[in-house]
Structure 1
Amino acid sequence: MTETERTPAAATGEKQPFDLGTGPGRVLVWFYGVFTVAAASRSIVQMILDFGRAPLAYVLSAVAALVYGFITYSLVRGGEKARRTALVCCAAELLGVLVVGTWTMAEPSAFADATVWSDFGMGYLFIPVILPITGMMWLRRARTA
């Protein structure tokens, strides 16, 4: 083993890759993981038991679960490409929360049942609207680290 192989990247002046799942990123991974399971479980059960009652709401909850799962995976995977992908997904998630939240407030009759993003995530203590903002802040910080 040569001296450069034993020397950490920081000591040689190389920029170390930023681990997205450390520090505050670990909390984001936990929240996104929990929301992945919650949204997926909810939508699967609702689609199996009573899909005809509120198909739009149940499909939107399934889409939320997919977005949450992809962000979770990206945060755990790490790296610049995963960071950029997670940033785009967080922006899409925020857009979804804002659109669905506004839609459910303006036209409540359009939804026979609530989605994860209904009323800006009020049923989930507004975490669905806070999470993408927090995620984007962390991912932008990770870029400069």
Structure 2
Amino acid sequence: MRESAPRATSSGPGRVLIAVYAIFALSSTARATVQIATKFHEAPLAYLLSALAGVVYILATIGLAGHGPAYRRLAWAAVGFELAGVLVVGTLTVLDTADFPDDTVWSVYGRGYGFVPLLLPVIGLAWLRRTRARADGSPHSRPGGQG
């Protein structure tokens, strides 16, 4: 019996995940760019954090869409950083609103975006874990199913 081919992160439900990451990459980067260009002096920390979030979403999109171990490492790093960022920035914005006169993408755990910024990295990490077993070298991923 021949084993199935490794499941890429960009297959099946991974395509939807990549599309959502791409939308967030585009929207958060565009929003941060406009905010930095037009009213940076009002909330520099918030706008820089939104720009950072945009870069992280871009890197996660590239990592999830790519094929091969380097792309998987990029995806793991970007999505892991994203989760840490949402938790840290979310907590800081709840505890100290004075430092954040305007929202970031990750403010209050992504409340302004329907909490998708909090759920997205959890789903992304779960998808990476689910696709890891065959894609990262288990016996099932070797040619011919030989282990």
Same-fold status (TM-score > 0.5):
yes
2:12 is matched with 23
1:88 maps to a residue whose letter is: A
Gaps in structure 2 of 5+ consecutive residues: 135-147
2:38 is matched with 49
Larger Rg: 1
Contact 1:57 1:113 in 2 (8 A): yes
Deviations 1:9-55 (A, max 9, x none): x95x6x84432111110011010000001100100000010111101
* Distance in 1 separating the partners of 2:108 and 2:91: 7
2:132 is matched with 143
Q: CA deviation at 1:62?
A: 0.4
2:120 is matched with 131
| Counterpart check, 1:72 vs 2:64 | no
Matched residue count: 134
Q: Aligned with 1:82: secondary structure?
A: helix
Sequence identity (%): 44
* Distance in 1 separating the partners of 2:53 and 2:108: 14
* Distance in 2 separating the partners of 1:134 and 1:114: 23
Alignment map for 1:96-107 (pairs within 5 Å):
96-107=85-96
| Counterpart check, 1:109 vs 2:85 | no
Q: Aligned with 2:17: secondary structure?
A: helix
2:7 maps to a residue whose letter is: F
TM-score relative to the length of structure 1: 0.87
1:47 maps to a residue whose letter is: I
Deviations 1:35-84 (A, max 9, x none): 00110010000001011110100000000000000010111112222112
Gaps in structure 1 of 5+ consecutive residues: 1-9
1:133 maps to a residue whose letter is: V
2:40 maps to a residue whose letter is: F
Contact 1:40 1:65 in 2 (8 A): yes
TM-score relative to the length of structure 2: 0.86
* Distance in 1 separating the partners of 2:129 and 2:63: 14
Deviates more, 1:58-67 or 1:16-25: 16-25
